[in-house]
């Protein structure tokens, strides 16, 4: 478990990697954080993935190790990349290249998960045509980049709160339409009475549509584990 510096274009990124016990090669799961940037939640998920036998690699899509001071600052940082999806994609592609080159990594078995804005980031990676074993956005944001969508060379599992104010039912249906056109193997698992940030125990504002839901959290991660087991077995 350690800090990992890598480059994306001319930007130095500061990620975090956690290794499982035992000799490799091991599958790698890229962990893409929510809009606050690489935080203890994402590092904790990397550690947890390592306990399952995967290399967990939590990435820095803001670059230079930048993280948000507060929610307002997080929104500022996010909007910069929201307005420049090409740069977001370059940073995700660099993270994928870095994941494949990690010591003891199985370069042919790499998946990416993401939370909130990180969910958008991993969907954009899939949209670019990158070859991965699987992509899993949790309470992600669904709008496609201006560049559109290429043929997806990955399987996609979308884990979604049906009451998410940032990804409303019509947007979920729109994503399903996009996936039907561009992805040969996709699933959307929607949880009722569940809003945004349902995997984050610190999300405690249901009036704003941001709330941790233990049952949906547990079901989502169980679905993710089954998906990764299946996909890595077939890679």
Structure-model confidence comparison of residues 235 and 31, the more confident one: 31
pLDDT tens digits for range 139-170:
999 999 999 999 999 999 999 999 999 999 99
Q: Could you tell me where the DSSP H helices lie in the chain?
A: 40-51, 71-82, 85-100, 117-127, 169-182, 214-234
* Cβ atoms of 92 and 15 closer than 8 Å: no
Tokens of 80: 């910069």
Q: What is the pLDDT of residue 139?
A: 98
Percent of the chain topping pLDDT 70: 100
pLDDT in tens, 186-218: 999 999 999 999 999 999 999 999 999 999 999
The predicted structure's pLDDT at residue 24: 83
> What's the CATH number where 23 sits?
3.40.50.1820
pLDDT above 90 (res 1): no
Euclidean distance between CA atoms 235 and 233, whole angstroms: 6
Q: How many domains does the chain have?
A: 1
pLDDT at residue 111, as a whole number? 98
Q: Model pTM greater than 0.85? A: yes
CB neighbours of residue 165 within 10 Å: 11
Q: What is the pLDDT of residue 235?
A: 80
| Per-residue pLDDT at 219 | 98
Average pLDDT along the chain: 97
Mean pLDDT for 43-70 is: 97
Give the pLDDT confidence of 80-120 residue by residue, as tens digits: 999 999 999 999 999 999 999 999 999 999 999 999 999 99
What is the token pair recorded at 95?
């993270």
Residue 208: which domain range?
Answer: 2-234
Q: How many CA atoms lie within 13 A of 132 on its CB side?
A: 33
């Amino acid at each position: 478990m350690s800090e990992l510096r890598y480059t994306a274009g001319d930007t130095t990124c500061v990620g975090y990697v956690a290794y499982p016990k035992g000799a490799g090669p091991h599958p790698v799961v890229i962990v893409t954080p929510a809009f606050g940037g690489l935080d203890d939640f994402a590092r904790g998920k990397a550690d947890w993935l390592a306990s399952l036998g995967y290399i967990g690699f939590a990435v820095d899509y803001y670059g230079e190790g930048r993280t948000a001071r507060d929610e307002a600052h997080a929104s500022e940082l996010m909007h910069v990349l929201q307005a420049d999806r090409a740069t977001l994609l370059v940073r995700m592609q660099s993270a994928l290249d870095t994941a494949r080159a990690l010591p003891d990594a199985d370069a042919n078995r790499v998946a990416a998960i993401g939370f909130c804005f990180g969910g958008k980031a991993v969907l954009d990676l899939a949209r670019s045509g990158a070859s991965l074993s699987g992509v899993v956005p949790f309470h992600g944001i669904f709008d496609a980049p201006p560049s559109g969508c290429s043929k997806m060379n990955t399987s996609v599992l979308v884990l979604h709160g049906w009451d998410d104010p940032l990804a409303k039912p019509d947007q979920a249906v729109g994503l399903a339409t996009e996936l039907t056109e561009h992805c040969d193997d996709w699933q959307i698992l929607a949880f009722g009475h569940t809003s945004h940030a349902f995997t984050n125990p610190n999300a405690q504002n249901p009036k704003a549509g941001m709330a941790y839901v233990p049952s949906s959290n547990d079901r989502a991660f169980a679905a993710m584990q089954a998906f990764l087991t299946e996909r890595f077995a077939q890679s």
